[in-house]
Amino acid sequence: MADTETKGRPSSWRIILAFILDLFTSFFVLGYVVGYLSGGLTPEGFQLNGLPALVLFALVIAYFVVFNRFLGGTIWKRILKAN
């Protein structure tokens, strides 16, 4: 079987790890921003219910779409060279 590195494609573990790290990073960073703007910050972090929670989910999805389609890959894809 041919090695994937010789064909110029990144390893599967890099792609999966980049996705997981991007998901956590975008969730916590965007969650904090939405919590700050909507008054959902708590001493432990943030708590979002209703519309602010839906806004957070929409922003996380938009993060992946915009970064992958228009900016050449997400932050962790670039760091781990998983493009």
Confidence of residue 57 (pLDDT cuts 50, 70, 90): very high
Greatest extent of the chain over all pairs of C-alpha atoms, in Å: 54
Give the tens place of pLDDT for each residue, 28-43: 999 999 999 999 999 9
CA atoms of 79 and 55, how far apart (whole Å): 27
Query: Is 0.75 surpassed by the pTM of this model?
Result: yes
CA atoms of 70 and 62, how far apart (whole Å): 11
pLDDT of residue 60: 97
User: Please, what is the average pLDDT of the chain?
Assistant: 91
